[in-house]
């Protein structure tokens, strides 16, 4: 199975959320997606109280969260089509 198409498990989501909280991030977790080619790094979309969404890269291997960019008209988050094979 291709790692990029493998769904993020509940256990992985909990570890990612714990990592974000440890780093002091607050907000709503909108989406989780595995980074292509790895099983320990993820893209996470979060939104704040004002509804501003941002993309982060979370690494369970490095125990690190990196801000990527704010999602707006110029920057979007492409979700994998669940029906695509």
In angstroms, rounded to a whole number, what is the distance separating the alpha carbons of residues 77 and 19? 21
Domain of 19: which CATH number?
A: 3.10.450
Residue 5 CA to residue 36 CA, distance in Å, equals 8
Please state, in angstroms and as integers, the Cα–Cα distance from residue 26 to each residue in 6, 36, 73, following that order.
26, 26, 23
Q: Which domain holds residue 24?
A: 10-70
CB count within 10 Å of CB 1 equals 5
Residue 62 domain flag: yes
Helix, strand, or coil (residue 80): coil
pLDDT value at 80 more than 80: no
Q: What angle do CA 81, 54, 5 make, to 5 degrees?
A: 25
Say yes or no to pLDDT of 83 above 90.
Answer: no
Q: Is residue 80 in some structural domain?
A: no
Per residue in 9-51, pLDDT (tens digit) is 999 999 999 999 999 999 999 999 999 888 899 999 999 999 8
Q: What is the pLDDT of residue 4?
A: 53
Counted domains in the chain: 1
């Amino acid at each position: 199975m291709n790692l990029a198409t493998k769904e993020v498990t509940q256990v992985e989501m909990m570890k990612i959320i714990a990592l974000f909280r440890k780093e002091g991030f607050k907000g709503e977790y909108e989406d989780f997606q595995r980074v292509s080619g790895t099983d320990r790094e993820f893209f996470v979309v979060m939104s704040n109280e004002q509804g501003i969404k941002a993309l982060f890269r979370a690494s369970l291997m490095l125990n690190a969260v990196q801000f990527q960019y704010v999602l707006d008209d110029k920057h979007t988050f492409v979700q994998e089509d669940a029906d695509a094979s």
